[in-house]
A and B are shown apart, each in its own frame.
Chain A
Amino acid sequence: MNKILLLILLMLMFYIDKKRGFKLFLSICLNFIILMIMFYFIAIGINPIVVSLIGCFIISYIILYFVNERNVKTESSMKSIIIVLVILAVIIFGMTIFSRIAGFGYESFEEINMFSYDVNIDFTNIAIAIILIGLIGATVDSSIAISSALFEVYENNKKLSKKELFNSGINIGKDILCTTANTLLFAFLGEFMTLLIWFESLHYSLGEIINAKTFCAEMIRILFSGMGCVLVIPITAYITVQTIFKLKKNPYLMHKEL
């Protein structure tokens, strides 16, 4: 079934644009391979936080430079993503350690009872890695939206001051907040419909649901993905404005591919 779906997706992508479709397909394959390599490195015992941070940089690099080409826009997106990742990594680290969402909740025991639990690898770090990897897609998405829109605004009105340009970046950000929040919500709801049905059919009380490890782990994941998107908006706007004004001094750099 997946093969047929993949074929349909490929046909549609080529219909939209042959060159970009091919690049996108290649980048998805590449991302899949990188993700599996990351998973493998984590599984053989290399520190999951280090693996996921480095992996996230490589993944954003691929999405930005391979699919969207390397230029001043993607350059400022990349910088903002790195800043957001570093800031969030610290918060995620604290949150995961305190809320103890590592490992599996009671609801998953059936799924994992064929395995031995004596695996000698700290699952706290793995929980941090999942949150970091999960938020990278959404963060890259809103970052590139802001930086390319800001360059567009600048092209159309070169007299704007730093502050005005920054404010229009935030305004564009407001437009994408609501749709991105819903995209994330529905992706998670689709995936965790079975968990919610489980809670409902086993008559969990509200108190049991909001303290269950399985539920909290998912909520914390979705909240951090959302925070990545939100946090990247002002940071990208700031960095892009700085870049634009730096380039204003030597305008010939503006359209040069870096």
Chain B
Amino acid sequence: MNKKVLFLIILLSISAIVFVYNDDFLYSKTIMKITNIETIETDVSSNPLGLEEEHYTKEISGIITNGTHKGEKLTLDYEETFSSVVTDKYRVGDKVFVVSNEIDDLKRDFYLVILASVFVLFMFLVGQYRGLLAILSVIFNSLVFYFGLILYQNHMNLTLICIVESIIFMFSSLFIANGINKKSMVAILSTFVSMTVLFILTFVLIKCIDYSGINFNEISFITVPYADVILPGLFIGALGAVMDVAITIASSIGELIEKDSKISAKALNKSGKEIGKDIMSTMINVLFFTYLCSGLPVFVLAIRNGFSIFNYISTNFSLELTRFLVGSIGIVMTIPISIFIAIKILKKGSEISE
């Protein structure tokens, strides 16, 4: 049975990869497959700090693979740099988008599909059906999230959308992760209570001191007022970690009650805290590295442009730190809350069933 599913996954992945490699006809932009690259000029320029950078003017020729000009040859100039800060280094065999006779961007969907297929394969090999369910919940949650953004485009309040979405996320993720049972209900309730407290806390803090000390210049890609997106962003970012802690505590306390139904609430509280301590540190570190490493490229640019390291750190990691701190507060707060709720509900349940 498993072998059949594995075979099916591999077959689907390969066909997806082959399809995406040949899906040029789906794009309205012209796509060119590079057949030849020649360097026609090499230049050296330097920035105010005296760092020397090589620029290469390349003559790239290729064959158009879609649209009305399919099969025609095309030769374009492209300027590459050694650093590839804003340019790319193309190779023979690459497919690139061509917009008004200039190379616009690489066709990356092929690589994305390869990596996604490998990921699905790993998930199945290690997690079997649970792994596939995890992927399903991730896809479902992303779709819900995207649907919320469409609603936001139609002028609904983003904070409100995110709160409603979070409740959907709680149910979908926890039921899929753990099945529909009492432990999941406990986890959902704990997540709900913790997220409410966290939301009120952040909201009051923001209303009282109005984002003081946070540098908003570092929010990239901003097309809307920042006050619209910052609170929902903090909230959604913390949700996953809070759910993770809630389900871990709920299942371990459930496990303890199952093993020994006469266990006292005090003993449960103590073991719950022990487990909480163990997961607290690693969970906080997950958030820390997930958030903070994304600042690296701009950091390198700034240092290489002569910015002082201390000035840069103090002004430019503030938002990442806020995200990290809010998430961590969520994690730590969920520990006592979910212990309390788990003991109340699960203990009571086991007493009645006796």
Chain A contacts to B: CB under 8 angstroms: 1-6, 8-9, 12-13, 15-17, 20, 23-24, 27-28, 31-32, 35-36, 39-40, 42-44, 59, 63, 67-68, 95, 98-104, 106-112, 115-124, 126-127, 129-130, 133-138, 140-141, 144-145, 148, 170, 173-175, 177-191, 193-198, 200-202, 207, 210-214, 216, 219-220, 223-227, 230-231, 233-234
Q: List 15 A-B contacts (CB under 8 A).
A: A5-B205, A9-B328, A28-B284, A31-B285, A59-B289, A115-B305, A121-B304, A126-B297, A133-B289, A135-B289, A173-B126, A175-B130, A187-B287, A197-B224, A213-B106
Residue pair A39, B243 in contact (C-beta under 8 Å): no
Across the interface, which residues of A come within 8 angstroms of B238, CB to CB?
186, 190
CA of A83 to CA of B206, assembled, Å: 44
Can you name 13 extra interface pairs (CB under 8 A) apart from A35-B293, A109-B86, A140-B285? A13-B332, A27-B281, A40-B309, A43-B304, A104-B85, A104-B297, A119-B47, A119-B53, A174-B130, A177-B126, A179-B240, A194-B219, A197-B149
Contact residues of B between 127 and 160, Cβ < 8 Å to A: 127-128, 130-131, 133-135, 137-138, 141-142, 145-146, 149-150, 152-153
CA of A42 to CA of B301, assembled, Å: 11
Across the interface, which residues of A come within 8 angstroms of B296, CB to CB?
39, 42, 126, 129-130, 133
CA of A129 to CA of B300, assembled, Å: 12
Residue pair B288, A28 in contact (C-beta under 8 Å): yes
Q: Given A1-B214, A197-B152, check contact A191 B233 (CB 8 Å).
A: yes
CA of A57 to CA of B292, assembled, Å: 17
Residue pair A207, B26 in contact (C-beta under 8 Å): yes
Which of B3-11, B67-75, B244-252, B260-268 touches A? B244-252
| CB nearest neighbor in A for B134 | A178
Residue pair B233, A194 in contact (C-beta under 8 Å): yes
Residue pair B45, A182 in contact (C-beta under 8 Å): no
CA of A43 to CA of B280, assembled, Å: 32
Across the interface, which residues of A come within 8 angstroms of B126, CB to CB?
170, 173-174, 177, 230-231, 233-234
Q: Given A1-B212, A212-B105, check contact A191 B336 (CB 8 Å).
A: no
Task: Answer whether residue B22 sits at the interface, using C-beta atoms and an 8 A cutoff.
Answer: no
| CB nearest neighbor in A for B54 | A120
Output the least CB separation between B250 and chain A (Å).
11
| CB nearest neighbor in B for A118 | B53
Task: Answer whether residue B286 sits at the interface, using C-beta atoms and an 8 A cutoff.
Answer: yes
| Interface mask (B187-221 → A, CB under 8 Å = 1, otherwise 0) | 00000000000000100011001011110001111
Residue pair B87, A144 in contact (C-beta under 8 Å): no
Residue pair A211, B106 in contact (C-beta under 8 Å): yes
Task: Answer whether residue B102 sits at the interface, using C-beta atoms and an 8 A cutoff.
Answer: no
Across the interface, which residues of B come within 8 angstroms of A133, CB to CB?
289, 293, 296
Query: Which of these, B133, B149, B201, B309, contacts A200 with CB under 8 Å?
Result: B149
Task: Answer whether residue B258 sits at the interface, using C-beta atoms and an 8 A cutoff.
Answer: no
| CB nearest neighbor in A for B287 | A187
Across the interface, which residues of B come within 8 angstroms of A112, CB to CB?
85-86, 298, 301
Task: Answer whether residue B98 sits at the interface, using C-beta atoms and an 8 A cutoff.
Answer: no
Task: Answer whether residue B229 sits at the interface, using C-beta atoms and an 8 A cutoff.
Answer: yes
Task: Answer whether residue B303 sits at the interface, using C-beta atoms and an 8 A cutoff.
Answer: yes
CA of A230 to CA of B222, assembled, Å: 34
Task: Answer whether residue B52 sits at the interface, using C-beta atoms and an 8 A cutoff.
Answer: yes
CA of A231 to CA of B122, assembled, Å: 7
Query: Which of these, A111, A177, A184, A207, contacts B290 with CB under 8 Å?
Result: A184
Across the interface, which residues of A come within 8 angstroms of B127, CB to CB?
173-174, 177, 230
Residue pair B177, A118 in contact (C-beta under 8 Å): no
Q: Given A118-B51, A201-B153, check contact A16 B285 (CB 8 Å).
A: no
Across the interface, which residues of B come within 8 angstroms of A35, CB to CB?
289, 292-293
Task: Answer whether residue B56 sits at the interface, using C-beta atoms and an 8 A cutoff.
Answer: no
| CB nearest neighbor in A for B97 | A211
Across the interface, which residues of B come within 8 angstroms of A224, CB to CB?
115
Which of B34-42, B76-84, B344-352 touches A? B76-84
Residue pair A123, B297 in contact (C-beta under 8 Å): yes
Output the least CB separation between A197 and chain B (Å).
6
Residue pair A24, B280 in contact (C-beta under 8 Å): yes
Across the interface, which residues of B come within 8 angstroms of A67, CB to CB?
281-282
Query: Which of these, A1, A108, A109, A141, contacts B213 with CB under 8 Å?
Result: A1
Q: Given A111-B298, A140-B282, A225-B290, check contact A193 B232 (CB 8 Å).
A: yes
Residue pair B138, A185 in contact (C-beta under 8 Å): yes
CA of A153 to CA of B72, assembled, Å: 66
CA of A2 to CA of B324, assembled, Å: 10
Residue pair B285, A187 in contact (C-beta under 8 Å): no
Residue pair B244, A20 in contact (C-beta under 8 Å): no
Output the least CB separation between B27 and chain A (Å).
5
Contact residues of B between 270 and 288, Cβ < 8 Å to A: 273, 276-288
Query: Which of these, B46, B83, B115, contacts A123 with CB under 8 Å?
Result: B83
| CB nearest neighbor in A for B332 | A12
Residue pair A115, B301 in contact (C-beta under 8 Å): yes
Query: Which of these, B289, B303, B318, contacts A2 with CB under 8 Å?
Result: B318
Across the interface, which residues of B come within 8 angstroms of A225, CB to CB?
290
CA of A85 to CA of B288, assembled, Å: 18
Across the interface, which residues of A come within 8 angstroms of B333, CB to CB?
12
